[in-house]
Chains A and B, each alone.
Chain A
Amino acid sequence: MALPKRQTDIGPPKYDQFLPPIIKKNYGKWKYHEELSGGTMVHVAESGDKLYTVRVASPRILSTETIREICDLSEKYCDGYLRFTTRNNVEFLVSDQSKVDPLVAELKQKKYLVGGIGDRVSNIVHTQGWVHCHSACTDASGLVKAIMDDLHEYFTTKELPNKVRLAVACCVNMCGAVHCSDIAVVAVHRKVPTINHELVPKVCEIPTTVASCPTSAIRPNPKDKSVIINEEKCMYCGNCFTVCPPIDIHKPEEDGVAIVVGGKVGSLRTDPKFSKLAIPFFYNEPPRWPKVVAAIRNILETYEKNAMKHERVGEWIERIGWESFFKLTGIEFTFQHIDDFTFARDTFRTSAAFKY
């Protein structure tokens, strides 16, 4: 069958053809919004028009079959208009109030989770993991599923002092930018890679391999036409493996995940913050990573109990102090917690005022 003629440099289709008429009419003229439940909200325009949003969870990996089902639902209840959120939720954009409840009912009956709006846990931003990436030292999708199965009530109904934003990165490249999340899981390698000296000369370009190492830990070994890694300098980033697969970074029995906390991206009240190390390591325990799940629940519940209204996790911790955070959560403080990387000295305490 003949293919249609390709076009180049056309960019995406213009957004306005996908906007429901009510948005086109009230574009940029919204007055306020109200949360109606954990997963529904209404935006009211200056004209008085009302747009209802129904938000549901998605695993981000979607089959075409499920996308079609979502499309069918949107055709049935909101003229086929829908959108996705930055955090990979699906939103039905309903202009007719009488259709909201039936839509929610059908979604629930089809086992969709309606939620993620307001001071709750929203969907977890995550990356590819074992599903699709060479670099992964854990599976992002599996962790997300296990964590959210445990926390689903915080998505649908239960309220928290403020929004809590979770993320999972399947290696230190952190493709999904987890470095500013309230609570995030980052997968880490912990051992220097092993070199297959027979394969290296056949597969790899030595200068590229040497140059790939951010800490200059790799130098050429002309005798074997291979390379040597300085174990003192290596910080297990896996860049060399990316360039030269015979340098194997995977150590399945030693790889695992760390938990970082206290980041945020909004400027509300306090400046955006990076997440900081809370727990340096858990072994990978597929399929459900029970220890990681329990640790996240512990941090979340300690925050829920102790934070003031509207405080994000990082704001709460800064108010009480990190020493109190470790005490309240019962998390052990280790050498790994003390920074020895690029910005280390900024993190050492320079005051005699602190808590026990």
Chain B
Amino acid sequence: MSGKYKTPMLDELEKGPWPSFVTEIKKAAKKSSMADDELGQLEKSYKTKRGYWKHGGIVGVLGYGGGVIGRYSSLPEEFPGIAHFHTVRINQTSGFFYTAKALKEICDIWDKYGSGLTNMHGSTGDLVLLGTTTENLEAIFAEYSSRGWDLGGSGSAMRTPSCCVGPGRCEWSNIDTLDITYTLTQEFQDELHRPAFPYKFKIKTAGCAVDCVAAIARADMSIIGTWKGNIQIDQAEVKKYADKGMNIQAEIIDMCPTNCMAYDGKTLKINDVECNRCMHCIAKMTKALRSGKEKGATILIGSKAPIVVGSLLSWVIVPFIKADAPYTELKELIRKIIGWWDDTAKPRERIGEVIESEGMRPFLEAIGVPPMPQQVKEPRKDPFFFWSESDFK
């Protein structure tokens, strides 16, 4: 089955210390002629410097509008095994935690119905199964869903929410990222599987401003853990850092963006009123410093990749919201935000783009959030502002 193709270019990429994707494709090709044809076509791409995939063809499972991505070779006669080579997006677990037993079961099913190739994970967060045929889709869905695994989102729908490891293994997490993500994924099953939105909508949750899931850069809604109150200092541990050779003045005090820290060689002081909670000092002196006691989340909206008018980072909308189970306030806020976007957007407009074209004010009014200085870097510099009737009361 395997070894149909000579692949001198790709063989080059089996050399060297970094794990090789070519080796992975070859391993799969031992069992699957689909993977072997993928290898053959890829070698051709390396020779001719172009891809040979076609976009399109409507594929999916009955009742759902997403989760399967149609993919066809544009050279089906040359590479019949990948005439169909669809992607199946499976909901990952919160924080990407698995057991060997569960993963092996996922592999067994995939070997039976697909190419044996995966992405662990796709950039959306989903566990991605690469390469199967249209005829196999219903069977794949029955096998996985009967064992507790559901499909992820695609098309004009919500994407599977994803998050950082959070309280599972990180001392900096201010919120339960794993539980929030699981709860929201369950809450929005309908929005995930049945595309009714103007475009895609992504929710990513990070436990603190370090933002290990890059929520601020790649989610329409970024939920980032934060705190109120003073940073808790353990002076004995501060001393240990100093004793071990940390230059506290240069590495911590001088790098604090708000100049709110002081150290006299004995005691570390923080003027917490001035602290903007950037996480630098806590991340560098994790044994000595802990975030303040009142925990919550900052909600930011709008980031997206540059297509088409330029990239956006998410903007602060709600500086502080409580994020404790059962997350009622958070869920209500999300429903309001999505509702406004759904009513206001033109087709294929992400929420960040709609806020840009409509203005921040209608958005904030619709979701019932007052204007706050935390939402902007600076106030406007032009005198061309509007007044509404409601401003004259």
Contact = CB atoms under 8 A, between A and B. Distances in A.
Interface of A: 3-15, 17-19, 23, 27-28, 30-33, 43, 51, 53, 57-68, 70-72, 74-75, 80-86, 88, 90, 93, 111-113, 125, 127, 129-137, 139, 141-142, 144-146, 148-149, 152, 172-177, 179-180, 214, 237, 239, 242, 245, 250, 252-253, 255, 263, 265-270, 272, 274, 284, 286-288, 309-310, 341-343
B254 to A, nearest CB: 9
A80 B100 contact: yes
A105 B384 CA distance: 67
Contacts of B106: 67
B96 A85 contact: yes
B137 to A, nearest CB: 11
B21 A266 contact: no
Contacts of A31: 171, 287
Given A61-B25, A84-B96, A134 B251 contact: no
B53 A60 contact: no
Contacts of B179: 15
Interface string B243-271: 00000001100011100000000000000
A12 B149 contact: yes
Interface stretch (B277-285, B328-336, B361-369, B385-393): B277-285
Given A8-B193, A130-B45, A286-B9, 7 more contacts: A12-B149, A59-B18, A67-B104, A68-B103, A131-B38, A267-B211, A343-B310
Nearest to B287: A32
Nearest to B168: A23
Contacts of B171: 30-33, 43
A14 B178 CA distance: 9
A84 B164 CA distance: 11
Interface residues of B, number: 125
Nearest to B167: A28
Contact of B51 (A18, A250, A270): A250
A187 to B, nearest CB: 11
A269 B182 contact: no
B101 A134 contact: no
20 contacts: A3-B138, A5-B142, A8-B63, A9-B190, A11-B91, A23-B168, A32-B171, A60-B121, A64-B111, A65-B116, A82-B100, A85-B165, A86-B164, A113-B19, A131-B21, A142-B21, A149-B15, A172-B307, A242-B55, A267-B211
A310 B255 contact: yes
B214 A86 contact: yes
A132 B130 CA distance: 8
Contact of B210 (A127, A268, A287): A268
Interface in B111-132: 111, 116-121, 123, 130-131
Contact of A265 (B12, B38, B119, B217): B217
Interface string B82-109: 0001010001111111111111101100
Interface in B2-56: 9-10, 12-13, 15-22, 24-25, 27-28, 30-31, 35, 38, 42, 45-46, 48-55
Contacts of A173: 305, 307
Given A59-B19, A135-B55, A286-B46, A18 B250 contact: no
Nearest to A311: B255
Contacts of A70: 103
B176 interface: yes
Given A60-B21, A145-B18, A84 B121 contact: yes
Q: List the 9 closest pairs (A to B, CB-CB), nearest first.
A: A149-B16, A214-B308, A28-B167, A71-B100, A4-B146, A80-B100, A12-B91, A177-B218, A267-B209
B211 A12 contact: no
B64 A8 contact: yes
Given A28-B167, A61-B21, A145-B21, A174 B38 contact: no
B313 interface: yes
Contact of B93 (A9, A15, A129, A148): A15
A224 to B, nearest CB: 23
A276 to B, nearest CB: 11
A119 B182 CA distance: 31
Which one of B18, B27, B97, B287 has the highest number of Cβ atoms from chain A below 10 Å of its Cβ? B18
Contacts of B110: 64
Given A139-B46, A179-B217, A269 B257 contact: yes
B374 interface: no
A101 B193 CA distance: 44
Contacts of A6: 61, 138, 141-142, 145-146
B148 interface: yes
A278 B28 CA distance: 38
Nearest to B87: A132
B111 A174 contact: no
A47 B3 CA distance: 54
B344 interface: no
